[in-house]
Structure 1
Amino acid sequence: MTFPTIRPKANPGPSAGIKRPSMALKRYPGFVLENQQTGQASTLRRQALSKAAV
């Protein structure tokens, strides 16, 4: 029985892995407000769905 030769691990290239997201886009005024509004909208939708399920 012959064992396969162990290959060395490849070094990751410059584009390997997930890039760190730039948070600069989220710093504009109004972003937090938009987040709150979308969060509230999804909360209301969830509540309405749970009431409809009962």
Structure 2
Amino acid sequence: MLLWELRGPYTIREECIFMLMGRGVADALTEEMFAAPTHKEAADDIEGRYG
């Protein structure tokens, strides 16, 4: 999970959570999430098909 804290340094984690409109859509190891996403919504966003 990528975790941003406003009062301190950025921390990068091994896990990633993809959220869409306030709900958790997918979670996986960061490397797996970006290399081969298993959820359609996450894959669409990672590959630039949203927006």
Q: TM-score, normalised by structure 2?
A: 0.26
Bigger-Rg structure (1/2): 1
Decide which structure has greater strand share. Answer: 2
Decide which structure has greater helix share. Answer: 1
Question: Higher relative CO (CA 8 A, sep ≥ 6), structure 1 or 2?
Answer: 2
